[in-house]
Structures are given as C-alpha cells and as structure tokens.
C-alpha cells in the first residue's frame, strides 16, 4: 500500500517512518530545503531517540522516500496525510490553518485518482469539512474522501507512542455513510498492523475526532496545572506533593501519570492547543472556563518561577552566578518551543544574574531564544563552577546521578532550586546544601 505524508516535521517524519516500518510505502513531502536536504542525506533534523535508525532502515529498504515533488509523492497513494504545522494565529490564539489549506490545494492539484485525504495536524473543529471544500473547489472532477486522524505522540517517546498507541482516533464523514465506509476501508488497511497488537481503532465523526485531540491535550494540561497548584498548597501546609500524587494516582480513575509538578508545562502543543480550544469554545458560545483558567495558571506559574530562584538567593541575583541544568521543555528532545526556561532565564538576566547553562541536546536551539549573555557549558559540572545557585529546569536522566560532593566542590554558595524534584532532599541537605524543590518539605 502506498501513502503520502505532507510535512516532514516531528509528526510527519516520525509517523511516516513508523508507517514504513509497518510495511507501507511512504513518500514524505517536505518544502523546507534545509530539512529536505538533511533527510535526503540521511541526517535527522530533530532529536528524537531511535528515529535515525528507523529512518535509515526504512529508507534503505525503499519504503521511505523524501522529496518536494507532491505529484510524484501522491501518485498511486491511497491515503494522503497532512502533517504540517498549525501554530497559534497572531493575536487571538486560534490555530493558523494557512499551511493546512495550502497543502489541501496542492494535494488537489496533484492527485490523479481516488485517495483519502487524512488530517494528522491538530486542527479546529470543522477543518476537515473545510479541507473537503477547498479540494472540491480546486478540482471539481476529483473523487476523494476526507478523514481526521489526530496524532497523540509525545516528543522523546514518539516512536513507541506511534508503534504502540493507546488508541487511534479516525473521524469520518458519517453524514455520508457510503463515503464513510469507503474511507474506513482504506484507513483499516493503513492501520492493519496495529490490530495485531490490539491497539484500538476508534471510528467517530469528523467533528468528534478533531475535538478529541484538543480535549485530550487540554485535559492533560489541566492535570499538570492541578498538581502544580497542589504543590504550592503542600508547601504552605507542610505536606509532600510526591506522596500526595502517589496516593491520588493509585486510584485508577485518576491515574498516576502526568502528576509531576514542575515549572509549568511547555512545548509545541499544550500551550497552543489549550488556547485554541478556548477559542473554539468561545466561537461556539460554550463555556470552557477550566481550560481558560489552566492557561492562566500555567502562564502565572512560569512567570513566578524566577521569583522563587531570586528568593532562594536572599532576594537578589544581581551579579550572582546562576547555574542552569536543562533548557528544553522536557527531556529527550531538542525542542525549545514554549519552554519554561525562556521566561525564567530572561527574568533572571534582567535581575542582573550571570547565567551558566547546560543542556545535553538543546543548546543550539536555545541560543536564539535565551538572553544573549548566557554562557553555554560543556557539561553540568562546568555549569556549576563558581555558581551561587544551581537551578534544575529539565529532568534529563543524566542529572539525577550528579554527585552532591562534586557540586559542592565547584559551587561558591551551596543553594539548589530543583524545579523538577530530581534530587533527594535528605541527601542534598546532608551534603550541606540549602535545597528547595517543588511541593516537598
């Protein structure tokens, strides 16, 4: 079976490579010349564990190709996936659909026979029907169907999420049952290999599939904001948020995942998708106060974190050296989009701090976004050299094993602000540190 993937970013590249691994022939179309030449030369333009081997194996087997010629890519394809970006539109938080609509027009011009046009990008409710209108207007003669197939992968564990998803949501135009059946047959074949591992395929209407994506991301964002507020409360009341999360998470109705407090969620999706869902609800004149509040709670949290660091240093970081461990919005990615490190480091720099930062893979992506005077270090211990305070912003696994003695030898003042709770408070205090974490006594 042949499919085409329009867009070779996180979603297009990872899901394209996973479909190829399932045995499909996948033609990825990428218009960014730097990304495309990297992919053609076998270089992976993003950091995602395991992706290099997966891409190399499938490209070598002839199942995965990269190009910018859409007509060549869609020739013989039974499904054409749209996996282009949907960034927030300037000003109002709604998703900017210009890339999706452009892709729809290009697909319409290029197709020569029947195909299902499948939206993988995260798009507002009504977008699949709009895509169908655009295709009909561009090519009134074309026989096609549309489907909505939102992607739920997480950066850092994207391959496993794609190969073993909790569920696959596929929205079809149920108002036209004949068409829906025809499109379903194609989508069943696309996802045939997942049936062997009992991954559920959930068929819904177009609108439900589109909304399920926003609802899922917003719910997870809300869960994180909830535990962050509980962490604040624990600090006030002398309780321990880690034990609280453990106790809550054992209730299967709540679940233990996504209950780690931190400096506020970031990344390319939760911030933009919570804003977009608020906007969708406003336009539908329906209440969405929990999500709107989540957005506000998270923004306030990111802004408040620098204040914690300044307070830990006795009220001023002017002319003090702050060692920063971790810059990316989460570990195992080089993605800096909406990372909490951005507002925190800018605020510290404004307050006169000297910043010495280290991130295992994110420093190149971080440089254009962080204060220009930031010093980038070779490793975590170099960042700690001469520091007045050490701040943990991203919970990279390698930071967990840093020895307190090695830190103590290098730091000028033994203060640690651990915003990801990676160290043991008792061990740190026994090593003479003034140690502050999140929601733990």
Active-site amino acid positions: 269
| Residues within window 119-148 making contact with ligand UGA, judged by CB under 6 A | 122
Residue 266 touching ligand UGA (CB under 6 A): yes
Q: Interaction with ligand NAD in 25-64: which residues (CB under 6 A)?
A: 29-32, 35
Helical packing angle, 98-110 and 127-138, nearest 10°: 40
The least CB distance from residue 29 to ligand NAD, in Å, is: 5
Q: Check residue 21 for interaction with ligand NAD (CB under 6 A).
A: no
Q: Which does 29 bind (CB under 5 to 8 A by kind): ligand UGA, ligand NAD, none?
A: ligand NAD
Among 229, 289, 234, residue whose Cα is nearest residue 262: 229
The 10 Å Cβ neighbour count of residue 386 is 12
- Say whether residue 330 binds ligand UGA (CB under 6 A): yes
30 binds, among ligand NAD, ligand UGA, none (CB under 5 to 8 A by kind): ligand NAD
| Contact (CB, 8 A) for 113 and 143 | yes
Q: Does 8 bind ligand NAD (CB under 6 A)?
A: yes
100: Cα within 13 Å, side-chain hemisphere: 24
When the beta carbons of 365 and 411 are compared against ligand UGA, the nearer one is 365
Q: For residues 7 and 85, is the Cβ–Cβ distance under 8 A? A: yes
- Give yes or no for residue 152 binding ligand UGA (CB under 6 A): yes
Which residue in 361, 368, 315 sits closest to 345, CA to CA?
368
Q: Note whether 127 and 22 are within 8 A (CB).
A: no
Nearest-approach distance from CB 217 to ligand UGA, in angstroms: 5
d(CA 178, CA 312): 65
Residue 81 in the binding site for ligand UGA (CB under 6 A): no
Residue 214 engages ligand UGA in binding (rule: CB under 6 A): no
State the minimum distance, in angstroms, from the CB of residue 21 to ligand UGA. Answer: 19
- Residue 133: other Cβ atoms inside 10 A: 12
Q: Does 265 bind ligand NAD (CB under 6 A)?
A: no
User: Which residues ranging from 147 to 166 are in contact with ligand NAD (CB under 6 A)?
Assistant: 151, 153, 155
122 is in an annotated binding site: yes
374 assigned binding-site residue: no
Tell whether residue 317 is a contact of ligand UGA (CB under 6 A).
Answer: no
Q: Is 103 in the site for ligand NAD (CB under 6 A)?
A: yes
Q: How far apart are CA 377 and CA 383, in angstroms?
A: 5
Burial of 198 (0-12, 13-18, 19+ CB in 10 A): exposed
The two structure tokens encoding residue 299: 């923004």
Stated as kind and residue range, the H or E segment containing 425 is: helix 425-430
Kindly state whether residue 260 participates in binding ligand UGA, applying the rule CB under 6 A: yes
DSSP string, 267-313: SSSHHHHHHHHHHHHHHTT---HHHHHHHHHHHHHHHHHHHHHHHHT
Residues contacting residue 181 through CB under 8 Å, at least 6 positions apart = none
**Pick from ligand UGA, ligand NAD, none: which does 215 bind, CB < 5 to 8 A by kind?**
none
**DSSP codes of every residue in 308-336:** HHHHHTTS--TT-EEEEE--SSSSS----
Q: Which does 106 bind (CB under 5 to 8 A by kind): ligand UGA, ligand NAD, none?
A: ligand NAD
**Of 16, 45, 93, 262, the one binding ligand UGA by CB under 6 A:** 262
Annotated binding-site positions for NAD(+): 35, 86, 122, 155, 272, 337
Residues that bind ligand UGA (CB under 6 A): 122, 151-155, 217, 220, 224, 258-260, 262, 265-270, 329-330
Residues near ligand NAD (CB under 6 A): 6-12, 29-32, 35, 83-86, 99, 102-103, 106, 121-122, 151, 153, 155, 268-269
Annotated binding site for substrate: 152-155, 213, 258-262, 266, 330
């Amino acid at each position: 079976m042949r499919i085409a993937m329009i867009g070779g970013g996180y979603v297009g590249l990872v899901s394209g490579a996973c479909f190829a691994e399932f045995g499909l022939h996948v033609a990825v179309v990428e218009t960014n010349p730097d990304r495309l030449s990297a992919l053609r030369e076998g270089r992976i333009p993003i950091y995602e564990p395991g992706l290099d081997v997966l891409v190399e194996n499938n490209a070598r087997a002839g199942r995965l190709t990269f190009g910018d010629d859409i007509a060549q890519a869609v020739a013989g394809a039974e499904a054409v996936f749209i996996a282009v970006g949907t960034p927030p539109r300037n000003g109002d938080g709604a998703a900017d659909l210009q890339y999706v609509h452009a892709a729809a027009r290009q697909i319409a011009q290029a197709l020569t026979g029947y195909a299902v046009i499948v939206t993988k990008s995260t798009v507002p409710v009504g977008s699949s029907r709009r895509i169908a209108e655009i295709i009909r207007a561009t090519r009134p003669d074309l026989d096609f169907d549309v489907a909505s197939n939102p992607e739920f992968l997480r950066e850092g564990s994207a391959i496993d999420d794609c190969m073993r998803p909790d569920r696959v949501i596929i929205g079809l135009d149920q108002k036209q049952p004949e068409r829906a059946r025809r499109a379903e047959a194609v989508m069943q074949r696309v996802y045939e290999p997942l049936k062997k591992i009992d991954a559920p395929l959930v068929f819904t209407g177009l609108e439900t599939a589109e909304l399920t994506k926003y609802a899922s991301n917003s719910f997870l964002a809300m869960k994180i904001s909830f535990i962050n507020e509980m962490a604040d409360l624990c600090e006030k009341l002398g309780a321990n948020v880690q034990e609280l999360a453990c106790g809550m998470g054992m209730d299967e109705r709540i679940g233990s995942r996504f209950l780690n407090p931190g400096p506020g969620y970031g990344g390319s999706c939760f911030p933009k998708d919570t804003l977009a869902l608020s906007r969708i609800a406003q336009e539908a004149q329906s209440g969405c106060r929990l999500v709107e509040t989540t957005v506000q709670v998270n923004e306030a949290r990111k802004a408040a974190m620098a204040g914690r660091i300044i307070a830990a240093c006795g009220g001023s970081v002017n002319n003090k050296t702050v060692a920063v461990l971790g810059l990316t919005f989460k570990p195992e990615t080089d993605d800096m989009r909406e990372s909490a490190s951005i507002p925190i480091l800018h605020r510290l720099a404004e307050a006169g701090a000297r910043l010495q930062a280290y991130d295992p893979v994110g420093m190149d992506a971080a440089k254009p976004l962080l204060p220009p005077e930031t010093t980038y270090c070779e490793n975590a211990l170099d960042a700690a050299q001469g520091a007045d305070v050490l701040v943990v912003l991203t919970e990279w696994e390698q930071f967990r094993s840093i020895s307190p003695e090695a830190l103590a030898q290098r730091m000028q003042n033994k203060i640690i602000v651990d915003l990801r709770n990676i160290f043991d408070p008792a061990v740190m205090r026994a090593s003479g540190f003034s140690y502050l974490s999140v929601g733990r006594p």
